Structure formats: structure tokens, C-alpha cells
């Protein structure tokens, strides 16, 4: 089961999604992103000019390129995640959420996800990338956080041996977005999760143990009769009979 939105290795484009895109690269962009742009019909330019429609920013993008895109050419500047979003949507995504703002909540966050459902993985991918973070399939030394649905699994064990990687539950992402700042990670460690326990099994009726329905016998004697002595004798007889049926009153055979 793939735990992130889609396996990047299997993500491909046959549709000319980027046929109207003329892009200029700033910083280091992964080869996978370049392949998607090419297969989608985008055109790469070596110089920044009026011909360019998009500035695609990779790792260590040049700040002056961002300034030129906004102030001089007035074109959208986007991160690599914009390319992935377009490839999944099979159309050009809104570039505004993918502006390379270094002040976004998860701008310095590299996340790997484990032990969550496919639906939750998709939601986490969308939330993290929208707020400036990156989500990867494999856990390695570049990861800053492991989002784990339980305190178990191979990735969880590997992250425990790497102090650099913070291990958190999916709630950490939600609480960080609500607070508009990265929440303290320690209180979101999956080892603090309280696992719901199944309801206790109902106790067997005493008749199932003794073979004698004590409650039914007593119920017959709850209504007083005119002959109280007789009623008392019958109740005592029931108690004596019950006592005799108890397994600890029988000698071992």
C-alpha cells in the first residue's frame, strides 16, 4: 500500500498539461520534476525574459529571481509541488498556494508518513505542501519529521535511532496550522496515544457456573405469603442447594 498520495515513480503525464508553460528554473530542481514538465509539453528557457510564463523554484532558489518574477515580469513563482499538483489534477493548478514563501508554517519541514490510512495520507500531503513543507516516500537523513499513526513499524524504529527526526502524530499538523506556528513536537509523540479498549465482556449468569438458577429461585420467594415460616424454610433450602452445587464443595475425584 502506498502511504503518500501517489507513488512519484508511477506518476506520469500523457496529456499536454504544460503546453502553454514557458518556465525558467531557479535553484536545484529534481530530475523527476523536469521529466514531468517535459512530458507535459512545457518549454524550458535559459534566460529570464518577457517570454517566460512561470518561475519554478527548487532548492536554494535565488532571491533576486523571485524579486524579478514579482516586480519586473509579474509572473507566478512556484515550487516543485506545483508541478506535482498539476500532474495529479491533469490541469494547471492555482499557483498562489505554491509561492515559495520561506515564512510558511512548514517551510523547513521534510516529512515522511507511516501507519496512516490512504485517505489520511492524501489529506496530510495536501496540508503540508500547501503550507510550504515537503512530503517524501522514503525515510532518510533529509527528513525532519516522521508522522506516524502508531508507535510501531520499521520507519518508527528507524526514526527512534535518529535524534534529528521528530516523531509526531497527524494531530501535530492540524494543531500547527490552527496555531499558525509549528507546535511543540514532544506532546504529539505516538507513544502517548491512548488506544481505545474493547468493552468488558459481560459476566456469565451464575446459573451457567452452578447449573442452578439462584436468581429465579429467590424471585419465587420475594413475595411474602401467609406462611412466613414455610417461606423461610424454602429459601434456606434453596441456599443449601446452591451451596452444595458450588464446585469447591465437591471433593476431587
At residue 91, the pLDDT reads 94
Segments in the chain below pLDDT 70: 1-10, 195, 203-253
Domain range summary for the chain, segments of one domain joined by +: 10-100, 103-194
Which of the listed CATH numbers 3.40.50.2300, 2.40.128.120, 3.40.50.10190, 3.90.550.10 matches domain 103-194? 3.40.50.10190
How far apart (Å, rounded) are the C-alpha atoms in residues 239 and 85? 77
At residue 233, the pLDDT reads 64
Residue at grid coordinates 465437591: 250
Same fold, 10-100 and 103-194: yes
Task: Name residue 166's beta-bridge partners.
Answer: 145
H/E stretch holding 235: helix 228-245
Give the fold, CATH level 3, of 10-100: Rossmann fold (3.40.50)
At residue 38, the pLDDT reads 95
Whether the Cβ atoms of residue 168 and residue 147 lie closer than 8 Å to each other: yes
What is the tens place of the pLDDT at every residue in 229-252?
555 566 566 666 655 555 545 555
Residues in the chain: 253
At residue 251, the pLDDT reads 59
Query: In the predicted model, what is the mean pLDDT of the chain?
Result: 82
Three-state DSSP at 209 gives helix
Q: pTM surpassing 0.85?
A: no
Residue 113: exposure state from Cβ atoms within 10 A (0-12, 13-18, ≥19): buried
The phi and psi torsions of 168 (rounded to 5 degrees) equal: -140, 165
What is the tens place of the pLDDT at every residue in 68-112?
999 999 999 999 989 988 998 899 999 998 898 878 899 889 999
Amino acid at each position: 500500500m502506498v502511504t503518500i498520495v501517489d507513488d512519484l515513480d508511477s506518476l506520469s503525464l500523457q496529456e499536454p498539461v504544460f503546453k502553454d508553460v514557458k518556465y525558467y528554473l531557479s535553484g536545484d530542481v529534481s530530475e523527476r520534476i523536469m521529466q514531468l514538465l517535459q512530458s507535459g509539453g512545457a518549454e524550458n528557457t535559459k534566460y529570464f525574459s518577457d517570454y517566460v510564463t512561470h518561475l519554478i523554484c527548487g532548492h536554494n532558489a535565488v532571491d533576486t529571481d523571485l524579486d524579478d518574477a514579482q516586480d519586473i515580469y509579474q509572473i507566478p513563482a512556484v515550487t516543485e509541488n506545483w508541478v506535482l499538483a498539476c500532474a495529479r489534477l491533469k490541469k494547471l493548478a492555482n499557483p498562489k498556494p505554491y509561492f515559495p514563501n520561506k515564512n510558511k508554517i512548514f517551510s523547513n519541514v521534510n516529512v515522511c508518513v507511516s501507519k496512516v490510512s490512504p485517505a489520511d495520507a492524501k489529506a496530510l500531503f495536501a496540508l503540508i505542501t500547501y503550507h510550504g513543507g515537503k512530503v517524501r516516500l522514503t525515510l532518510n537523513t533529509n527528513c525532519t519529521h516522521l508522522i506516524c499513526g502508531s508507535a510501531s513499524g520499521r520507519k518508527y524504529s528507524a526514526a527512534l535511532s535518529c535524534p534529528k527526526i521528530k516523531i509526531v502524530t497527524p494531530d501535530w499538523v492540524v494543531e500547527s496550522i490552527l496555531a499558525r506556528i509549528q507546535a511543540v513536537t514532544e506532546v504529539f509523540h505516538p507513544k502517548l496515544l491512548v488506544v481505545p479498549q474493547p468493552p468488558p465482556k459481560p459476566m456469565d449468569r451464575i446459573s451457567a457456573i452452578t447449573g442452578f438458577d439462584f436468581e429465579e429461585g429467590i424471585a419465587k420467594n420475594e413475595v411474602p405469603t401467609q406462611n412466613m415460616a414455610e417461606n423461610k424454610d424454602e429459601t434456606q433450602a434453596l441456599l443449601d442447594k446452591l451451596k452444595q452445587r458450588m464446585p469447591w464443595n465437591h471433593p476431587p475425584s
